Structures are given as C-alpha cells and as structure tokens.
Chain A
C-alpha cells in the first residue's frame, strides 16, 4: 500500500443491533488520510464519529468493508496497529484515582514498553509544557476537568504514536485550556514528520483552525470531504447576508421571501439577527421592504463570507449547536 497514506477505508460499514432491528452507524465510508495530515470528522451527535474512531483504533470490528491503519488491516493485524497509535477522548476518566498524575502517566507508558528513565524524562517535559508540573504529585481524583484532560493528552502522546486519534479532545474545556490544547496539537504535528491526527469535534472553529481536511459526516455517511477552504467554496455562488433587526413587540419572523437557508438568532435588547442566502442580488431591496412592512426595523446589515457553519447547515440541513 501507498506509504504516504496513513488511514484508508474501503466501503466501511458498521451496524449495531438494537431493539427491533439494526442501526446503521456507518455506511460505505471511503476515506484516505495522508501522513502528516490533521483530518477532521465533523458531524452532529450520533453521526458515527466515535464509531469510526473505534474501528480504526481496533476497539470495534467493521460489519462490512475494510479499514487499514498504516497499511495494516484493523481486523487482523491489531498488534501492529496498536504499537503505533494512541487515542484520547474528551471527558475520559482513565487511570487510578489513588495514583498521582506522574504515576498514572508512568503506568500507561509501561504498556508501550518505554524504559522508565526515558518515560520519566518525557513525562516531566510534557507536564511542564502543559503547565501541570505543580500538580505532578497530586492524586488524579483531585484534578479538575481541564487538568485531567491535559493529563489525558500527555498520556496519548507519551508513546510517540504515528497516528493519534482525538475524539472531542476539547470537550468541556474552558476557552483558555482549549486554546492551549489546540496550539499544542499544531506544535506536536510539526515536531516530527509523518505524524497523523484524526480528530472529531463539535467546534467548527476548531476544525477550521486545525484541520487540513474535513469530512462532514451525518447519519453514518460522509456528505462532503475537502479542505476548509474547499468546503466553503461550495457556497461560492451563494450570496450571504446577515441582518440585524429591531422588532415591535415580540414578533416572530417565520418566513422571508426570495431567500434560502434562513436562520434567526435572538440578540440582546429584543433584537434579532437573521442570516440568509439569496440567488439574485437585486431582490435585497424587496426583502428589506418586506421586513419593514411586517414590523421589523433594520439596524444593520452586511454581506458576509461563508463560514464552516454555513457549509454545515447547507450539507446537514440543520443548525449546528455549539453548546451541545
């Protein structure tokens, strides 16, 4: 197999048995992830992201199709794969509460055969990078979510994996720590050539910032796969507007003629923000008139660049809730 490809799936499918039938969590997935790439999986809850990661990390068998990591078959060549990968999930509670941060990390390093001396040196290095050196001797039952997740990430990279799987690595982290994690991921990728990261996230800006390529997945199917810029190009013929409106009493805007993909967000002071796309630039005056006649006063408006969110709405057909 081509050495520049680190993850490859061929018509990969996975079903789960459930009451009264089966659930198709993944359907005919075909992806190629290159070495040196941060590859993002973006999709709503239950889309199948974790299922895909579990298959690739040898925790789950495919129901149909094939999957290869570093050229090895996930079904049969598990040991070969396991030697070279690692995984970190958001909100995981790995380790033993009675051990300290340093001891836990050391324990996990032993499962990868790292000599104790080297392991200790590396652990101290990463603890410092993540600003955890003060908590190195704290029992992990006493850690906050953020500290715990930093430790989890150190656990994941300690074995120096060639492919790292990150399942919502910034879940539940505050802005500051999430930023630390993101910038670390970028540095780590540059540190050594040929590393690969497959990452799932619910945060579109995170995917936009980190990923070389993104697959949008929903209902077990891949709906689009491209670079962030490429994805945004899907919307290049669409004219996008964002309009801020004042409204008399609490009127509801249920429809807006000439527009597609229109969404309403309430703002402060009873104002609302309306986003929409139009095909014909000339219709914008008619739209403003329509709004005025229905009791909405224009505060501001701007034509805007498409974001990943727009792409997401375009493809998945529903709004993406950042706080889910």
Chain B
C-alpha cells in the first residue's frame, strides 16, 4: 500500500460523498419530505403518549427516536440499497474498474449520508422539542458525544455490510429495505424504551440503534436512567464491538461480492 494509493482513496471518499451532500441541498422536495415524514410519526407517537397520560420524558423518548429514525432510513434506503441501484445504473462496474477500493466508495456514501441526515434529524428534534415543550437534562456530554458518534459508526458499518449482502442475496433492494424498516422500529425500541422488550433487547442489541438510542435517552432525560436497558458504559463497549465487527464484515462481504460478480458475471448486469 503506497502513499499514492492512499491519497487516491481519500480523494475517492470525498468524491463519492459529494453527490450525497449536494443532493441534500439541491432537491428541496427531498428535504421537506425527509423532515415531514418522520415528524408526522413523531407527532403521532408523542400525542399517543400524551393521550395515555405518560410523563413528559416519554414524549422526549418518542421525539428522540423519530430523530434517530432518520439515520436508520438513510442507512436502509441510501446505504444498504445503494449498491443495488449503482448496479442498475451501471455505476457499480465503473467503481469496480477504478483503481480504488470499493470500501472508499461506501465510506464516501456514509460520510455524505451522515452529514445530510444529521441536518434532518436535528430538524425533527428541534420541531419535536418545540411542539411538545420537552425538558432535556444533559447528564454527561462526553458520554453523549461518544454514544452518538459510535452509534453512527456502527450503524453505517451495518449499512455498508448490508450493501454487499443485498447484492449477494439477489432480491430487489426495495423489498429488502421494506422488510427491515418497521420491524427494526419495533425491536430497537425506536418509540419506547427497549427495556420493556425484556430478553429480546439483547437480541436487538445487534442493531446499533437499540443500544445507541437507549444510551442517548439515559444521557438526555431525567427519567432516562430509570428506563435504561444497560448501563451507559456497557452500551459504549457494545457499540465499539459492533463498530469493529460490522466494519470487518463490510470489508469481507465487499470482497466476496466483487469476487462473485467477477466469477458469475451477474452482479454487474443491469437487469437480470
């Protein structure tokens, strides 16, 4: 691995991140859509809590979940499905024949996606806070930042892994994303503390959002710790492990996908 190769890959990451960031600013209707759709869910779940007479922190849990769901949607629809669409448009074969690692392409997509999505998540959080007049109580800012960024790292690692798997599985990408979307909302406790799922929570901790969201709730709301699933430090540890595992698996499956593509001659074909 020489210096030239590393620089080229860094450039490739920036190059591939660019359309993500641009797309986020160029199509206003997308921005509005990405803010309005999660917001509607947040309002629905928040109002339901209100109707049930839940404490204010539960409204906060729902708002935070709605904000973080933007990342989940981004990972599903713009990461996991992405190589499938790149294949359809013919970009995938151009990426494969470029003198860079496909990991750079996926990293570029991730970084661009994170930046673009952060704005939307923030918008949901701000509007939700305003509508339901939430009270935050910041417990520990270092841990908060750590949990947030580790959650994103592990989550996008998962997305990178799924991107190759979607191609290897060979089903239409949108069906697969539809398959993951709502069930993950449920098992990761997107709108209620995952503690209430009991043992299922351990299983769903494989999804970085589960522990990440739980950690954020504990660090942002007074009642958070009462309804916490595991201690924040353990959650940080889990997130680190998940990040490493998903990163390694992402690289492994990318290699495997490229090998299968070259061997079977299928994965780079537009319409099978």
Contact = CB atoms under 8 A, between A and B. Distances in A.
A and B touch in the complex (CB under 8 A): yes
Given A95-B91, A96-B23, A112 B262 contact: no
Given A99-B22, A113-B11, A94 B89 contact: yes
Interface size class of A (residues with CB under 8 A): 20 to 34
B264 interface: yes
B49 interface: no
A85 B12 CA distance: 17
B8 A113 contact: yes
Interface string B240-272: 000000000000000000000111110010000
Given A113-B7, A113-B8, A106 B96 contact: no
Interface string B11-26: 1101110110011001
A103 to B, nearest CB: 7
B99 A112 contact: yes
B99 A59 contact: no
B19 A111 contact: no
Contact of B15 (A82, A87, A92, A111): A111
A255 to B, nearest CB: 43
Nearest to B24: A98
Contacts of A58: 96-97, 262
B105 to A, nearest CB: 8
A155 to B, nearest CB: 8
B202 interface: no
A232 interface: no
B146 to A, nearest CB: 32
**Number of chain B interface residues as a range:** 20 to 34
Contacts of B22: 98-99, 103
B97 A82 contact: yes
Nearest to B9: A113
A57 interface: yes
Interface in B125-160: none
A107 B90 CA distance: 15
A60 B260 CA distance: 9
Contact of B12 (A54, A94, A110): A110
A16 interface: yes
B94 interface: yes
B99 A111 contact: yes
A82 B102 CA distance: 13
A198 to B, nearest CB: 14
Given A14-B265, A98-B27, 7 more contacts: A54-B268, A59-B261, A60-B265, A87-B94, A107-B19, A110-B14, A111-B98
A94 B18 contact: no
Given A57-B97, A98-B22, A112-B8, A107 B15 contact: yes
A107 B18 contact: yes
B23 A111 contact: no
A87 B97 contact: yes
B256 to A, nearest CB: 14
A61 B263 contact: yes
A83 B9 CA distance: 12
A302 interface: no
Given A59-B268, A82-B97, A99-B22, A111 B8 contact: yes
A1 interface: no
Interface string A87-122: 101001111101100010011111111100000000
The winner among A17, A54, A113 for most chain B CB atoms within 10 A is A113
Interface string A1-41: 00000000000001011000000000000000000000000
Interface in B57-110: 89-91, 93-100
Contact of A113 (B4, B94, B261, B262): B4
Contacts of B90: 89, 92-94
Contacts of A16: 265
The 8 A-B residue pairs whose C-beta atoms are closest, nearest first, are: A110-B15, A113-B8, A111-B98, A82-B99, A83-B99, A110-B11, A107-B15, A96-B19
A111 to B, nearest CB: 4
B15 A106 contact: yes
A79 interface: yes
Contact of A82 (B12, B19, B98): B98
Contact of A103 (B7, B18, B268): B18
A86 B99 CA distance: 10
Max chain B CB contacts within 10 Å: which of A59, A86, A87?
A59
A148 to B, nearest CB: 12
17 contacts: A58-B262, A59-B97, A60-B265, A61-B262, A79-B99, A83-B99, A87-B93, A87-B97, A92-B90, A93-B90, A99-B18, A106-B15, A106-B18, A107-B15, A107-B16, A108-B98, A110-B16
Contacts of A110: 11-12, 14-16
Interface string A54-69: 1001111100000000
A251 B265 CA distance: 49
B19 A98 contact: yes
Listed residue (A54, A85, A89) with the most chain B CB atoms within 10 angstroms of its CB: A54
Given A57-B97, A79-B99, A98 B15 contact: no
Nearest to B268: A59
Nearest to B259: A61
Tell which of B7, B26, B90 has the most Cβ of chain A within 10 Å.
Answer: B90
